[in-house]
Amino acid sequence: MKIATGQPAPDITLPDHAGAQWSLGGQRGTPVVLYFYPKDDTPGCTTQACDIRDHWAEFSELGVPVVGISPDDVDSHAEFVGRYDLPHTLLADTDRAAIDAYGAWGEKTMHGKTYEGVMRSSVVVDGDGQVAAVFDQITPNDQSAKALEAVRKLLG
């Protein structure tokens, strides 16, 4: 990822899975976890989203919103949320504005083939809008542990 700790987090405004506009700037005063993932309802992305769901009580206790971002559209996100009972917000970044701003698009290799796509990654933004932690190339089931550790450290 090209984004680094200590930088101002790029402000983003995108539609959520219900079609409402969500803005990072509107979250000032509390840390936010942003995670980038390739595609709704695929094995790795489902594992990642369900890992957050399964740790939701911990995020809620800390008062920290978790927001997933992918190039899928609002309808796809709404289905994904409903199918897996996801408690967190998913944002539709169909033109990749946020994905590109956070450097979450790049070259990937799978099954011996190289292609470009969304890099599974995560960013913790502090309450002042600064990047507090960046996790490049996370695995689907370590998202929550890494994000929770960074948020707890941030909150002291």
Which sequence spans correspond to the domains of the chain? 13-155
Please name the residue ranges forming H helices in 9-142. Answer: 43-54, 56-62, 74-84, 97-101
Could you list the active site residues? 45
CA dist 112 and 11 (Å) reads 36
The secondary structure of residue 7, as a DSSP letter, is: S
Which pTM was predicted?
Answer: 0.94
Model pLDDT for residues 75-94, shown as the tens digit of each residue: 999 999 999 999 999 999 99
Burial of residue 115 (CB within 10 Å: 0-12, 13-18, 19+) is exposed
Taking residue 17's Cβ as centre, other Cβ atoms within 10 Å add up to 25
Over the stretch 22-77, which tens digit does the pLDDT of each residue have?
999 999 999 999 999 999 999 999 999 999 999 999 999 999 999 999 999 999 99
Report whether CATH 3.10.20.590 matches the domain 13-155.
no
DSSP H helical ranges for 14-73? 43-54, 56-62
pLDDT level of residue 143 (50, 70, 90 thresholds):
confident
Residue 61 CB-density burial (10 A; 0-12 exposed, 13-18 middle, 19+ buried): exposed
Euclidean distance between CA atoms 95 and 80, whole angstroms: 19
What is the predicted pLDDT for the residue at 1? Answer: 58
- The helix or strand, by DSSP H or E, that contains position 23, with its residue range, turns out to be strand 21-23
* Residue 125: partners with Cβ closer than 8 Å, 6 or more residues away: 9, 24, 27, 31, 32, 33, 34, 131, 132
